[in-house]
Amino acid sequence: MNPLLDFSGLPRFAEIKPEHVAPAIEQLLAENRALITRLLSDSAPPAWQDFIVPMENANERLSRAWGPVGHLNAVMNSPELREVYNATLPKITQYYAELGQNLALFQKFKALHNSPEFAGLSVARKKIIENELRDFRLGGAELPEDKKARYLEIQERLAELSSRFSDNLLDATNDYTLVVENRGELSGLPEDVLQAAQEAAVAAEKTGWLFTLKAPSYMPVMQFADNRALRETMYRAYGTRASEFGKPEWDNTKLMDEIVQLRGEEASLLGFANFGELSLAAKMAESPQQVVTFMRELAQRARPFAEKDLVELREFARAELGLQELQSWDIGYASEKLREQRYAFSEQEVKQYFPEDAVLPGMFKLVETLYGLQINASSAPSWHDDVRFFDIRDAQGQLVGQFYLDMYARNSKRGGAWMDDVITRRRVQTTGGRGQRTEGIQTPVAYLNCNFSPPVGGKPAVFTHDEVITLFHEFGHGLHHLLTEVEDLAVSGINGVEWDAVELPSQFMENFCWEWDVLHGMTRHSETNEKLPRALFDKMLAAKNFQSGLQTLRQIEFALFDMLMHSNFEAGGANGDRNTLLEKPDGCESGRPAAPPAPEGSAPPCRSDILQLLDEVRAEVAVLIPPAFQRFPHSFSHIFAGGYAAGYYSYKWAEVLSADAYSLFEENGVLNPDVGARFRSEVLAMGGSRGAMQSFAAFRGREPSIDALLRHNGLLETS
């Protein structure tokens, strides 16, 4: 049997080959289309059991076949897999676009919504039908046929462009290596980083130390290397990935322009003024202007702190490091030195207290305490020897969920950290002997992926505190998927949750990384086995909001750029009136060259490109301006190859919710199992079966307030 067509349990990763993909997907697409035809030909009034359930079953099979393919393409990328993935992706895209545009199917859902049965359905099932009606409208079901055809073309092209964007970034990142043969040029770098670089050189049959643009290699260089020229070399390579400065076939410039143009055309076809409005139609935020106003107000609160951060950093760099002019490749290095001086500790010192074999049990113990669970190592077929697998059970020993954990960086794996679903919780019916039907609950399963440094020298991997926070963040996403109690697929786990609320459980988990009662139990020095000293923790806590003003403005810069690009901007064409959102009538405040000179006496025209827009956003909200050669958008996968287009603001939006939710734990005890049970039942368990604001209010007893976020980030004068 084709392993992709086996839905009896977990994916059979050890057996999946590129040649399995096309036959499996083509068979399922044919079966699904035949089912849709049969359902539409049925003259009986649509009912949940006879109409929704068969379609849900069919689409879940397709998702469970395609999911492992997409996952392997992200974590075990190879030329053969990439080729078949990119060849099959348009077929998947076309199928879902066809469903969204099927007017007859839309009419069936409307008939079910208006039927007597609807009133008796559960809240979750009513929400599913209402979401479907909304999504049919957003998917172009009511468009005339000629516009439907164009909409389908746009969806297929966007899927292709996004995949190419991701491939280009991966290839450009993997292509760059820097070999240093003189040990004297590497002063300041920690020993474990040097050992990893030496092992990488040996693996590449080189002498010396080999560095790459992957985070575990790149970030320590920028943070610790005394060699300024080395930092600049690495910064330039990293900041110009997948741009015109590299190989032409990996340049994402034209892809970005076309992606933004096509999204704008898609929005116009559906009757929206811009893609930002289309994106927000299924989110908590009501309009692009509301998002822009929110980000600007937050920027105003953060800017005085950011300006103070920068003044302090420049003065320190000049006085202590001899850096008369602070460059972008000096920021991480100077910041680390300032942190060490001010708080008398270094990130490298802290890192030694967070070996993997202490961090994981500590994180699991926290979750077990809060939610009354048991987490134990288990086994399952996987895609790499580094992957681990775990069971989550309740207090009675019943299996609640399972997850894969893939923590280390490698060449075949895309960068970043993310959670994805493998199997979603739902109530399923199975047919046994003599046609008897039995019901049961399908166990949810998740992927948790990070890009940390692998173990070196035969010792467990050690994590920076930031990496510990990242791990907690992704586990928060995982718990949102795994601890749902909803039994209907389309609103179970993270399904159906508004995109700007999906970060609530993940950011909520980050808060525990700053609690002594949590951290102390998950530390062990990699050499001495001693626990994290309270004195060092107090220094970490004192430094918690070090440069939080700069960090907040950086996130706002990205979010504002994203929303403006998708709401009032034409890539590669005329600006239109995009400056009405920027509120800069002259609009050309940028260090980047303008278009060719205008006639004498007239205002110079702005270059109407994506980089120009980013320059204008930076001129408004940033205090740190990168050099002109930097090409950040070319690697901004969240919005060009992920699900965050006109949605990057979600991180700050959801951080308001998460900080305020966590404040209830602060008021009642951060390890309070009663508050934990309430968070589990009102937020994690509910999935997308009700609005995120309803779930928040049910947990917190009121609407959210921004005060907790400002307090947590040290952005209040009294904090």
Q: Are 169 and 635 in contact (CB under 8 A)?
A: yes
Longest dimension (CA), the chain: 89
Q: Are 68 and 3 in contact (CB under 8 A)?
A: no
User: Is residue 474 annotated as a catalytic residue, yes or no?
Assistant: yes
Cα 514 → chain centroid: 22
Q: Which residue, among 522, 481, 489, 486, has the nearest Cα to 505 in the 3D structure? A: 481
554, two tokens:
């950086």
Nearest-angstrom CA–CA distance, 229 and 627: 16
Q: Strand 388-394 and strand 373-378: pairing?
A: antiparallel
CA distances from 27 to 2, 58, 400, 552, 673 (A): 11, 12, 32, 48, 48
443, two tokens:
């166990």
Cα 698 → chain centroid: 26
Of how many residues is the chain composed?
Answer: 719
Contacts of 485 (CB under 8 A, 6+ apart): 425, 681, 685, 686, 687
- φ, ψ for residue 430, nearest 5 deg: -125, 145
The continuous run of DSSP H or E covering 155 comes out as helix 145-175
Q: Which residue, among 609, 358, 578, has the nearest Cα to 471 in the 3D structure? A: 358
Q: Burial level of 706, CB count in 10 A (0-12/13-18/19+)?
A: middle
Task: Please state, as a whole number, how many other Cβ atoms lie within 10 Å of the Cβ of residue 529.
Answer: 9
Please say whether the dihedral angle defined by the alpha carbons of residues 229, 230, 231 and 233, taken in this order, is positive or negative.
Answer: positive
412, two tokens:
């075949």
Task: Please state, as a whole number, how many other Cβ atoms lie within 10 Å of the Cβ of residue 144.
Answer: 8
The continuous run of DSSP H or E covering 374 comes out as strand 373-378
The residue type found at 69 is: V
* Of 98, 474, 503, 655, catalytic: 474
236, two tokens:
């330039």
Nearest-angstrom CA–CA distance, 89 and 68: 13
Nearest-angstrom CA–CA distance, 713 and 719: 9
Q: Are 92 and 127 in contact (CB under 8 A)?
A: no
Q: Are 200 and 160 in contact (CB under 8 A)?
A: no
Task: Please state, as a whole number, how many other Cβ atoms lie within 10 Å of the Cβ of residue 194.
Answer: 16
Q: Are 437 and 431 in contact (CB under 8 A)?
A: yes
Q: What is the 3-state secondary structure (H, E, C) of 170-212?
A: HHHHHHCEEEECCHHHHCCCCHHHHHHHHHHHHHCCCCCEEEE
Q: Are 496 and 490 in contact (CB under 8 A)?
A: yes
Nearest-angstrom CA–CA distance, 226 and 186: 7
What are the residue numbers of the active site?
474
